[in-house]
Amino acid sequence: MGSAYAIEAEELRRTYRARTGWLKPRRTEVEAVRGVTFTVGRGELFGLLGPNGAGKTTTIKMLNTLLIPTSGRARVCGHDVERETREVRRRIGYVFGGDRGLYDRLSALDNLRYFAELYAVPAREQKGRIAELLDLVGLAGRERERVEGYSRGMRQRLHIARGLLHSPDVLFLDEPSIGVDPVAARELRRTVADLASTGTTVLLTTHYMAEADELCDRIAVIADGCIQALGTPAELRRRAEGRRVVEVEAYGVPESAVDALRGLPGVRETAVEARGALQLLTVHSDAHVDVQSDVLRELAGIRLGRVDSREPTLEDAYVAIVSAAA
Amino acid sequence: MSGAYLPGPAASPTPFPFRARAALTPSPVPPPHRSPEKGPGMKTLRLMTVGGVIAYRALFNWTTPGMFIGTLLVGPLFQLLFFAYLGRQLQVADDRFYIVGNAVLTASLACVFGGTMAVANERRYGTLGHVLLSPRSRTAVFWGRVLPYAGNGLLIAVVTLTAGALLLGLRIPVSALPGLLLVMAAGSLACGFFGLTLGALGLRFRDVWVISNVSVALLLLLTGVNVPASGLPGWMVAVGEWLPITHAAEAARRLAAGDGLAAAAGPLGQELLVGAGYAVAAAALLKIFEFESRRTASLDVL
């Protein structure tokens, strides 16, 4: 254990090159990660937050050896991810969200048996370890059922059990709670918190601010392939200090009205989130300026629902950071 | 933004009375993957056998009784009968030529498609990334997958030979049976590694099934199973020399004719050499394409 850090990333870059067409081939280049630097301490629970396409998964794939960085370097438990892949792989677990990544025709037990072989869990320890993990993720009693009949929450728990089979020092969790119902997501958060409390280093990517706020010791906000902010949740929350947030539920807000809101005195950022027929307008303003009446005036004639004025949360800080990067 | 390390809170922010706490308490024994146990040879053997069988159940599409019997037993038997009756009609060769040759060839269906499924179905299930994250030897992982397919191929060849001989009245000397079993096992194993070589292409090319389909047709044509080598153009014979089944079929015919194992030893050795060549080729391709996938992100691993 030479290094003081579990994860060290130094100026990591990754460019994807693609070629399309046969007769007239066209080459495209996308810089997914553009110079990411951070460190994660041993036993730390570190969050990587960012919008879709920000470079979170690419960063994780470089750290877990599935991708070679275009430039820069990274080490996991002191081992170089490009040259010492076997040493890195012995020490990491990888869990990602979604329905795929398991052998549907096999039972949970057989899935775990197979990956126990692949991840070099000694034969005499496999049975006990698998039973322990099935109990941990709440699948004991269901382990002989085929995975194809599992709900998404059950699959997600099985993903976690698989990621922990070989007792990894570092666990990468790539949006593990995506598509999971609230109760299952809460159990999952408990599991993650418990892991961290027993010394496992966890790198978590998520879209859910509450999840990051509740779990993470520190958070890096990544957008456009670069880290835009890094600190504890409290430190990041302070990024939104001096602000006030007005939230308005509305139906059929034209782009021109949103532009008008952006032009109001004291308004810093405006975001629109579509939720079915409903649109949720979030207007960030300077704390000393009351923009609520101005906002409602600009939205006159539009059908409105709930209107709320509140203190900024971590999510607001995140929006502010990501908006500033855009 | 500076990436300097900022010390965070020492523990998780919320206590969790979760049942996992006891289970996760660090054990005084070293982590499982680093504790001393069996020798590396035994561990590799276990990975190849136990891992190979589980992977077979996970990835082979034709494991249900209906699919297995229909696709791998009944279909090839009809193919054997078709060529045997066609041979009788055209008077190209006798029944032994077709029955023995086609019986050996039937192993190729399970082996070629099995080898392809061993890699291509990992993409389908989204598990390839997790397999590639294994610290174990890729060669052992994937060679182990060939063993159940080869066993499958051997079973199919034996069943087809037995059924074909009974249906068409072919008499095979009892003394030839152990040798035939050996030859069919060699042919199945060579075919399995040939299939894995094709499967390895699945790490680079998404539509690898096209290659498997074409390869099965090529085996039918170029191995001399249904068209005697003397009736094929020279270049086809030359290509056939490098394919599995060609030499196994020749060895099996000599044994079935009562020539003895000594007469079959030459082609049997050649079949084993061809199989070994494909085993090495598969291992090399898997290594190259895995590295390329990491370098160029060419693989949709997850």
Q: B161-203 pLDDT, tens per residue?
A: 999 999 999 999 999 999 999 999 999 999 999 999 999 988 8
Which residues in chain A touch residue B19, judged by CB atoms under 8 angstroms apart? 135-136
What is the C-alpha to C-alpha distance for residues A194 and A184, in angstroms, rounded to an integer? 15
- Going from N- to C-terminal start, the domains of chain B cover 41-293
The B residues from 45 to 64 touching A (CB cutoff 8 Å) are 46-47, 50-51, 54-55, 57-59, 63
What is the C-alpha to C-alpha distance for residues A295 and A272, in angstroms, rounded to an integer? 14
Return the higher-pLDDT residue of A179 and B83.
Answer: B83
Distance from CA of B41 to the nearest CA of A (A): 13
* pLDDT average, residue stretch B109-127: 87
- Of residues A101, A166, A231, nearest to B127 (C-beta): A101
* pLDDT average, residue stretch B273-294: 94
| pLDDT exceeds 80 at position A108 | yes
- pLDDT given at position B280: 97
- pLDDT given at position B28: 36
| pLDDT exceeds 80 at position A324 | no
Contact of B118 with B199, CB cutoff 8 Å: yes
Which residues in chain B touch residue A96, judged by CB atoms under 8 angstroms apart? 302
Which residues in chain B touch residue A66, judged by CB atoms under 8 angstroms apart? 129, 132-133, 294, 301-302
Residue among A74, A60, A65 nearest A32 (CA): A60
| pLDDT exceeds 70 at position B6 | no
- Of residues B6, B18, B34, nearest to A218 (C-beta): B6
What is the C-alpha to C-alpha distance for residues B48 and B46, in angstroms, rounded to an integer? 5
Render pLDDT for A190-249 as a digit per residue (tens, 0 to 9): 888 888 888 899 999 987 888 888 899 999 999 989 999 999 988 888 877 788 889 999
Q: How far is CA A281 from the centre of its chain?
A: 24
- pLDDT given at position B61: 82
Which residues in chain A touch residue B301, judged by CB atoms under 8 angstroms apart? 66
- pLDDT given at position B277: 97
Length of chain B counted residue by residue: 302
| DSSP string covering A202-258 | EEEEES-HHHHHHH-SEEEEEETTEEEEEE-HHHHHGGGTTEEEEEEEEES--HHHH
Contact partners, residue A157, CB within 8 Å, separation at least 6: A137, A138, A139, A184, A187, A188, A191
Q: In this complex, is the C-beta atom of B174 within 8 Å of any C-beta atom belonging to chain A? A: no
Answer yes or no: do A114 and B302 touch at CB < 8 A. Answer: no
- pLDDT given at position A176: 84
Residue among B182, B177, B274 nearest B223 (CA): B274
CA dihedral A82, A87, A91, A93 (to 10 degrees): 50
Answer yes or no: do B294 and A66 touch at CB < 8 A. Answer: yes
Contact partners, residue B13, CB within 8 Å, separation at least 6: A193, A214, A215
| pLDDT exceeds 80 at position A3 | no
Answer yes or no: do A122 and B296 touch at CB < 8 A. Answer: no
Return the higher-pLDDT residue of B148 and B119.
Answer: B148
Q: In this complex, is the C-beta atom of A272 within 8 Å of any C-beta atom belonging to chain B? A: no
What is the C-alpha to C-alpha distance for residues B21 and B8, in angstroms, rounded to an integer? 22
Domains of chain A and any CATH numbers: 5-231 (3.40.50.300), 240-325 (3.30.70.260)
Answer yes or no: do A194 and B9 touch at CB < 8 A. Answer: no
| pLDDT exceeds 60 at position B13 | no
- Establish, for the pair of chains A and B, how many residue pairs have beta carbons separated by less than 8 Å: 181
Answer yes or no: do B20 and A124 touch at CB < 8 A. Answer: no
Instruction: Kindly indicate whether the ipTM for this predicted assembly is greater than 0.85, answering yes or no.
Output: no
